[in-house]
Structure 1
Amino acid sequence: MPDPSPFAVPTRFDGARDRVAVVVPGVGYSPARPLLHFARNVLVQHGWTVQELWWQVPDDFMQLAVEDRIAWVERQVTQAVDAEAGACRLLVGKSLGSLACGVAADRNIAAAWLTPLLSTDHVVRALQRAEAPTLLIGGSADKLWDSRIAESLRHDVLEVPSADHALELADDAVGSVGVLGQVVSRLERFIGSLGR
């Protein structure tokens, strides 16, 4: 296994050696947060080995040009995928992690993107050429989600009415827990459909 990037520290949960999923965080949304935590649980229950990326985004990250941000994310994800020596068959990413859509498309890796950055041309173009099974989940109140674009793609889509970029409902904690359940159920179906 190559040395991890100074910004990404992988954590592994072992299951099937030939079925590895890489969980890719957002800017401030680590694998410990609910959406990615339960995604990992679903993967483990289905017998996948899970590699979680824990990264620290550079302090000046938001001042970088979009191309440099994409390159940074792709570098982290490519290192994680390459470390699995061909066994990585799924990416599960949140928000910023969706800048790695091109890696999934180029390598024909299935993907589940939670709140993908559909406002970014690079992400949309990569999703347009992706041929592996792909799930897109976003909220109608998320300014970085575009319902029209999501529906124009030939992928599985779940849009949660009134949900924001965290896939939560404003001022509605109980309703937000219900959204989490809905998202986890859709992930369960999608991951189950990938077979062995």
Structure 2
Amino acid sequence: MVKKAVLLPGVGYNCDKPLLYYSGKVLTSQGYEVIKINYDLPQLDIKNHHELRMKLFEEAYRQSSEELSNARLNEADELIFVGKSIGCYVACLLHQRQYTHSRLVLLTPLIETFDLSPDGALVISGLEDPWADAKAIKKRAKDYNNQMIFLHGNHSLEVRGDYQGNLRRVGEVLDALTLFV
């Protein structure tokens, strides 16, 4: 059985940061070949600028699609996209446009991600995320058959000064991922 997983980072949150790094480790231990995507994106102020954000999403998708063109993902019996922030949107685009047999893990998705109908995804979001309001995420995500987990923390699922709690939250994400795969 061929199992592949693709890690899709956020802006400023690469595949070596805890949520993606350890997700990759869990997936490798479950027999997945893990592919890490790196974008070369322009520095744009996207927090409160929807149009710029959409341009950045499309550019990240283009780069990801190009980077994955030789990865033979359609040959995988199991394919999982693990997105972080803008990577969630990219994961949904890849799922919708090219790899409909894939499954989605969405770590701290931005609200626009739910415009792409991410049905059946594992969605994990921070209750104090300044980039994505938890109430809005809950409202949008409930329209789909998603497993939703909301943890205390910001856009990285961290709480300043709570190092033990931050480690526990990473563990909770990894436990959920393990059950999902």
TM, length-normalised to structure 1: 0.77
For the residues of structure 1 that align with 2:75 and 2:66, how far apart are their CA atoms? 13
1:158 is matched with which residue: 149, 158, 173?
149
- 2:102 matched to 1:104? no
State the one-letter code of the partner of 1:115. T
Q: Please name the residue that 1:52 is paired with.
A: 36
1:37-48 alignment to 2 at 5 Å?
A: 37-48=21-32
State the one-letter code of the partner of 2:52. A
1:68 is matched with which residue: 55, 67, 79?
55
For the residues of structure 2 that align with 1:68 and 1:139, how far apart are their CA atoms? 25
1:95-174 alignment to 2 at 5 Å?
A: 95-100=85-90, 101-106=92-97, 107-108=99-100, 109-118=102-111, 120=112, 123-126=113-116, 128=117, 130-131=118-119, 133-143=120-130, 144-145=132-133, 146-160=137-151, 162-174=152-164
1:11-22 alignment to 2 at 5 Å?
A: 18-22=2-6
For the residue of structure 2 that corresponds to 1:54, the secondary structure is coil
Deviations 1:61-106 (A, max 9, x none): 7487233112101112222343222135111111011121122133
1:22/1:90 contact within 8 Å kept = yes
Q: Which runs of 5+ in 2 are unaligned?
A: none
Q: Which runs of 5+ in 1 are unaligned?
A: 1-15, 192-196
Q: How far apart are 1:178 and its partner, in Å?
A: 0.9
Count of equivalent residues: 168
Distance change (3 Å), C-alpha of 1:74 and 1:80: same
Deviations 1:140-181 (A, max 9, x none): 111314222233321111111x31111112331111111111
- 2:14 matched to 1:30? yes
Could you tell me the percent identity over the aligned residues? 24
For the residues of structure 1 that align with 2:40 and 2:125, how far apart are their CA atoms? 24
From the two aligned structures, give the one with the greater strand fraction. Answer: 1
For the residues of structure 2 that align with 1:51 and 1:40, how far apart are their CA atoms? 9
CA RMSD of aligned residues (A): 2.0
Deviations 1:12-64 (A, max 9, x none): xxxx6x32111111101111111111100011001111110123322347487
- 2:81 matched to 1:91? yes
